């Protein structure tokens, strides 16, 4: 038997797009969708059809033009939502309606103002209708991690019976912790009849900074679909970052012996395209795609990385599409890194000349946070007599 596959469900264009500063026009969404196809995502959630005309139009356009991934639309458990989603998805090669319905008592009582019985009836009717209209129906009991587990098993059982083949357990409010989330997946697998025919999915938010850890815990506990976004954008503190989950599975393949369809060298280009499209990019210290993720300034680190990158890097920049590791020269840099950069700039110096330039470099670096190539070239120029 071959390795099991983990499917990547990208929701950059839905959960990501609905967060402040991240809205995109149809043309921008289409460009991102094409890049996500190149990256190799399995399912692309293109929007929430009933939410606006613009969302419906973007889903329709993406469904017409992007033929690789299955295209999904989010939908509430309501007839008009499901029909709007189906219309928007009509041109898709392969289509999915992602139905969500709150299952926690706090959401049922204060947001939807319906009883548990009514929620079960709505879930049943909605999944049955969607199953007649599209290829795949996914059901998400919203706020699953704060739902009474007996009721969660019940509503998931109803959705599976009605024809849902993907069950997502969203940590809607970013509340869970890895061990607890993993246990939830195991419980559902044990207690709900028919789960062996269902793909379990995780969907995590980063309110406590654990979205990626929680996603990985879910995969270990049986999730075979992971919902995530590029750069981790999404509601509030964001979603699980696709690039971090993918890189973790790659670096720790010993713990995650699964296949997937992603081309990891497309991670950085995809992150860059998103950053240029919305109003902000990842923070410099963001894992995998931040501008400092592969930068080394400390001299001992720089020497190590130049000798063998694996001294201080668990994954090479090239593996995730980052052009080359960025050596930031500063006051912590040593002679070795300075000589390396000067050679790259076309100046191989002998020992004495290097020492002279190094002394000037340290003097400059004491005053400046980072020393750039143009500064280095200036250091090479003969110094005026008055200053020597």
Of 15-23, 110-118, 145-153, 282-290: span binding Zn ion (CB under 5 A): 15-23
Residue 15 or 244: the one with the smaller Cβ distance to Zn ion is 15
CB 186, min distance to Zn ion, A: 22
- What CA–CA distance (Å, rounded) separates 67 from 65? 6
Of 10-18, 19-27, 120-128, 316-324: span binding Zn ion (CB under 5 A): 10-18
Residue 15 or 37: the one with the smaller Cβ distance to Zn ion is 15
CB 303, min distance to Zn ion, A: 44
Q: How many CB atoms lie within 10 A of CB 180?
A: 13
Phi and psi, residue 211, nearest 5°: -60, -45
CB 22, min distance to Zn ion, A: 13
Site size for Zn ion (CB under 5 A): 1
Residue 15 or 243: the one with the smaller Cβ distance to Zn ion is 15
Chain-centroid distance, C-alpha 107: 27
Q: Could you tell me where the DSSP H helices lie in the chain?
A: 26-39, 53-65, 79-89, 105-107, 116-133, 149-162, 178-191, 211-220, 242-251, 267-277, 299-307, 335-344, 351-367, 373-380
CB 235, min distance to Zn ion, A: 5
Of 7-15, 36-44, 147-155, 218-226: span binding Zn ion (CB under 5 A): 7-15
Q: How many CB atoms lie within 10 A of CB 287?
A: 15
Query: Should residue 227 be labelled a site residue for Zn ion when binding is judged by CB under 5 A?
Result: no
By CB under 5 A, the residues from 63 to 122 that bind Zn ion are: none
Total H helices, total E strands in the chain: 14, 8
Query: Should residue 171 be labelled a site residue for Zn ion when binding is judged by CB under 5 A?
Result: no
Query: Should residue 15 be labelled a site residue for Zn ion when binding is judged by CB under 5 A?
Result: yes
Question: If DSSP codes are grouped into helix, strand and coil, which group holds residue 43?
Answer: strand
In the complex, the residues that contact Zn ion under the rule CB under 5 A are 15
């Amino acid at each position: 038997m071959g390795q099991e596959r983990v499917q990547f469900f990208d929701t950059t264009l839905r959960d990501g797009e609905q967060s402040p500063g991240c809205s995109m026009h149809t043309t921008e969404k289409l460009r991102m969708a094409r890049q996500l196809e190149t990256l190799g995502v399995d399912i692309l959630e293109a929007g929430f059809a009933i939410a606006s005309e613009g969302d419906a139009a973007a889903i329709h356009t993406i469904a017409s033009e992007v033929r690789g991934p299955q295209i999904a639309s989010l939908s509430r458990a309501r007839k008009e939502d499901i029909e709007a989603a189906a219309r928007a998805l009509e041109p898709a090669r392969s289509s999915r309606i992602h139905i969500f319905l709150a299952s926690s008592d706090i959401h049922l009582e204060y947001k939807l103002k319906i009883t548990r019985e009514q929620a079960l009836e709505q879930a049943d009717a909605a999944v049955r209708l969607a199953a007649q209209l599209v290829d795949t129906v996914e059901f998400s009991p919203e706020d699953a991690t704060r739902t009474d587990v007996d009721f969660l098993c019940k509503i998931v059982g109803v959705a599976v019976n009605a024809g849902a083949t993907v069950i997502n357990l969203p940590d809607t409010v970013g509340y869970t912790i890895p061990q607890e989330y993993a246990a939830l997946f195991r419980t559902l697998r044990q207690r709900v009849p028919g789960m062996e025919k269902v793909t379990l999915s995780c969907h995590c938010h980063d309110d406590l900074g654990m979205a990626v850890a929680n996603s990985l815990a879910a995969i270990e506990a049986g999730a075979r679909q992971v919902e995530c976004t590029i750069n981790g954008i999404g509601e509030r503190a964001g979603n699980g970052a696709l690039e971090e989950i993918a890189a973790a599975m790659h670096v720790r393949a010993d713990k995650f012996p699964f296949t997937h369809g992603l081309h990891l060298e497309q991670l950085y280009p995809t992150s860059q395209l998103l950053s240029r499209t919305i109003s902000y990019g990842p923070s410099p210290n963001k894992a995998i795609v931040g501008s400092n993720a592969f930068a080394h300034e400390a001299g001992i680190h720089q020497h190590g990385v130049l000798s063998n990158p694996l001294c201080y890097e668990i994954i090479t920049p090239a593996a995730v599409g980052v052009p080359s590791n960025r050596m930031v020269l500063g006051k912590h840099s040593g002679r070795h890194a300075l000589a390396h950069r000067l050679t790259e700039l076309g100046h191989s110096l002998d020992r004495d000349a290097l020492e002279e330039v190094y002394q000037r470099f340290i003097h400059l670096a004491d005053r400046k946070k980072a020393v750039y190539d143009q500064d280095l070239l200036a250091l090479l120029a003969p110094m005026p007599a008055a200053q020597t």
